[in-house]
Amino acid sequence: MLAAAKRPTLYVGVGLRRHGLTELVVRLAEHLRLPLATDVLGKAAIPESHPQFAGVYMGVLGDPAVREMLDGSDCVIVIGVVRTDLGTDFWTERINPKSRILIDPDGVRVRFHRYDGLAIRQVVEALVDRLSASDRPIPRFSGSSIPQLQPEDGESSGALGFGHRPGCDLSSGCRHLSRTQASRSLAIQLHGRRGG
């Protein structure tokens, strides 16, 4: 499946940190020259400064380029992604099950076939050791393709790129959410309102 794939990708989650697999999975991505994305729970599992890091997959809420990369892939190797509402991006994940190899803590699923009793570390080590190095071009990304949001009039730029109005905090009833279409990405921008 991987050998025949034209658009293979690597999609990882919080299981990398739980099982101490970060370094090994980075080696796997480099060995196979695969683009690398994380889910929301696994965001800190891979250094975002790595040139093969494409971004965070968030289903319909996320970066369209990352979504297209995973949803349109013909072979997605999924390692340590927890199948929960956050792990499936609130059930908006559209990765084709026929194109998916799931590597969980206690087994592997290739398409619809399940192989239980395989430890996650041993499977990842075997992939690094036994698969031939790829000669495909190394995918390179220069950080997230999600543009930075600019503050609106009367706002200052806050942490995480969110805007806030001076003299307003979340504890004082400033909880107005709005959606902003910025470039090709949907972003949620937090705005504070005085007096609720």
37, pLDDT greater than 90: yes
Percentage of residues of the chain with pLDDT beyond 90: 54
Dump pLDDT digits (tens) for 41-91.
888 888 999 999 999 998 888 899 999 999 999 999 999 998 777 766 678
102, pLDDT greater than 90: yes
165, pLDDT greater than 50: no
- HSE of 196, CA atoms in CB hemisphere, 13 A: 0
pLDDT (0 to 100) of residue 82 = 86
Burial of 20 per CB tally in 10 Å (0-12, 13-18, 19+):
exposed
Encoded tokens for 9: 């990708």
pLDDT (0 to 100) of residue 20 = 95
Of 37 and 182, more confident: 37
Mean pLDDT, range 104-111, rounded to an integer: 93
Encoded tokens for 58: 């968030």
Dump pLDDT digits (tens) for 147-163.
333 444 554 443 333 33
pLDDT (0 to 100) of residue 116 = 96
Determine the Cα–Cα distance for residues 181 and 31; give it in Å rounded to an integer.
37
pLDDT (0 to 100) of residue 59 = 82
Of 102 and 181, more confident: 102
pLDDT (0 to 100) of residue 154 = 52
pLDDT (0 to 100) of residue 60 = 83
Determine the Cα–Cα distance for residues 86 and 140; give it in Å rounded to an integer.
27
Of 84 and 121, more confident: 121
pLDDT (0 to 100) of residue 112 = 87
pLDDT (0 to 100) of residue 143 = 53
pLDDT (0 to 100) of residue 92 = 82
Average pLDDT over the chain, rounded to whole?
77
